[in-house]
Amino acid sequence: MKIGVLALQGAVTEHMQMLSALDAETIPVRIPSELNGLDALVIPGGESTTISKLMSDYGLMEPIRKLAEQCFPIFGTCAGLVLLAKRVPNLEMETIGVMDIEVKRNAFGRQVDSFEANLEIPALHNGNFRGVFIRAPVVEKAESDVEVLCKLSDKPVAVRQGKLLACAFHPELTEDLRLHRYFLDIIKGDTDCKK
């Protein structure tokens, strides 16, 4: 299994280490040709405005959008969640725009820019998960074909739609491999992408 990690900005190395620990081959993706032959892509956290700009500058926006529309698995964390969303009212940049969700950036306000919370993710074996939130977004609205995997204060913070997986927190900043393993299962699984 060969998984690309979008390496324009953000927590790239941490994702690559986690995927390697799960025996996946990983490559950093900076230019469109590096998408060739991948089984999946991870879009790390960082700053969605910066990542969006760099994706456009490097010609990555359109090829990644096309892949996502063809049932290609993508896992976005934090800024990655923002970039996968179809609607982000407080972002002036383009998103890949493939998940039927509306996302609010920096949803927890400045006073609690960063915090950790104990989450419950029933789809994972042994549901508790320590969520690391850093200037995190939340999902404000999710269409009916989006599966909500986890909520915090009544707002979805982890969602799945077909082979697209996204969370508002940073599993790559913990030692917990379960969400990445769940993504590998999505890659291998037989999912109806309704496209």
Residues near ligand GLN (CB under 6 A): 45-48, 78-79, 82, 105-106, 134-135, 137
Let me know if 78 is a catalytic residue: yes
Q: Which of 15, 150, 172, 180 is catalytic?
A: 172
Per DSSP, helices labelled H in the chain are 12-21, 48-57, 61-69, 79-84, 178-188
Q: How far apart are CA 87 and CA 100, in angstroms?
A: 8
170 is known as an active-site residue:
yes
- CA angle at 121 for the pair 119 and 123, rounded to the nearest 5°: 170
Distances (CA, A) of 145 to 127, 163, 167: 22, 12, 16
Residue 42, helix vs strand vs coil: strand
Based on C-alpha coordinates, what's the Rg of the chain? 15
Structure token digits, residue 143: 């269409």
Q: Which of 15, 78, 167, 180 is catalytic?
A: 78
Q: Which is nearer to ligand GLN, 24 or 79 (CB)?
A: 79
Q: Is 172 a catalytic site residue? A: yes
Least distance CB 144 / ligand GLN (angstroms): 26
CB of 12 to ligand GLN, least distance (A): 12
Q: Minimal distance in Å, beta carbon 13 to ligand GLN?
A: 15
User: Closest approach of Cβ 86 to ligand GLN, in Å?
Assistant: 16
Catalytic residue among 14, 15, 170, 180: 170
Residue 122: CB atoms within 10 A of its CB come to 8
Please give the positions annotated as active site: 78, 170, 172
